[in-house]
Chains A and B, each alone.
Chain A
């Protein structure tokens, strides 16, 4: 019980407890705060925008269903990213997805996102724009090519401002494991992105 009290200062835990007491507005507050980060987390991890949105929806549905059973045993952000991480890993391990990944990195959702940069008239701006787009694609490809665990640790720590301990809790592993994953991920990215350094 003392452990639960540790997290009661977390405003998001407070919102979840308020939701538990019947305050539906508190759930919507959490939803608005986390929906975009969770869509981006899933998108960066699985590389498909449509599926990333579906996973974010499933995560919030799970949070909503936890209304009666929720106990604050971690920061709310750790808890919700843990749910999301497991759903993304399940998605990545689906047999049809593995086959798809072998054939092409992402034939459906990703292409649309990568092409989402608005067209710019020819000129110096266009060149700059193209370079920026190429760099973004190169970074996205490099991150996507990392092994699942390294990618997850990197995305949590680099794009979601998590410390190693919180990332470890979200991934249900140890802090030293995250430290090692981060080292290997950074070495891998440095090698793949050498031409941009």
Chain B
């Protein structure tokens, strides 16, 4: 190590942050280098000067004020719904996710019975079905009738091909 490299080690040397080997090397260099000894002395006195910047005391009431603030913040704090927390909350307990799954099934079942209009077979009243069967020829697009059970009796004996009079006789 030359003088320049040694000078870069001097602060660490003063702080006891060098390995034993490096510290010995610096000591040996210092024995024969007055300019590095002078730099070392400057660094030492600079370090001592830093002690003149004394601590400040926190303002009066700082500790109780902060503790109160922390307690109040934690009381007011909403439950976090971040995905990480949600995953931990949900998958962390088999009982919890089983309960959630059962709840979803129950809600779906309840919705099925509570909202009957959403089911096709209950959309038409019996009178409407009869009316529809009577005027079935008006319904060009049979796809509009999704529940044709009531019409089946009419189709039970299909007329022979090309014999239109048999339809009239059957009716």
Q: Which of B47, B53, B57 contacts A140 (CB 8 A)?
A: B53
B58 touches A164 (CB 8 A): no
B52 touches A135 (CB 8 A): yes
Count the B residues whose beta carbon is within 8 Å of the partner chain — how many?
30
B56 touches A43 (CB 8 A): yes
B159 CB, nearest partner CB in chain A, Å: 78
B67 CB, nearest partner CB in chain A, Å: 7
| Chain A residues with CB below 8 A from B59, complex form | 49, 53
| Chain A residues with CB below 8 A from B45, complex form | 197
A35 touches B50 (CB 8 A): no
- Decide: A39 near B43, CB < 8 A? Known: A31-B63, A157-B15, A179-B17: no
| Chain B residues with CB below 8 A from A15, complex form | none
| Chain B residues with CB below 8 A from A135, complex form | 49, 52
Q: Cα distance A113–B54 when bound, in Å? A: 11
Q: Cα distance A132–B49 when bound, in Å? A: 11
On B, residues with C-beta under 8 Å from A are 8, 10-12, 15, 17, 42-43, 45-47, 49-50, 52-59, 62-63, 66-67, 69-70, 73-74, 77
The 22 listed contacts between A and B (C-beta, < 8 Å) are A35-B58, A36-B57, A40-B56, A49-B56, A64-B74, A65-B74, A65-B77, A136-B53, A139-B52, A159-B53, A164-B12, A179-B17, A183-B10, A183-B11, A183-B12, A186-B43, A186-B46, A186-B47, A189-B49, A189-B50, A190-B43, A193-B46
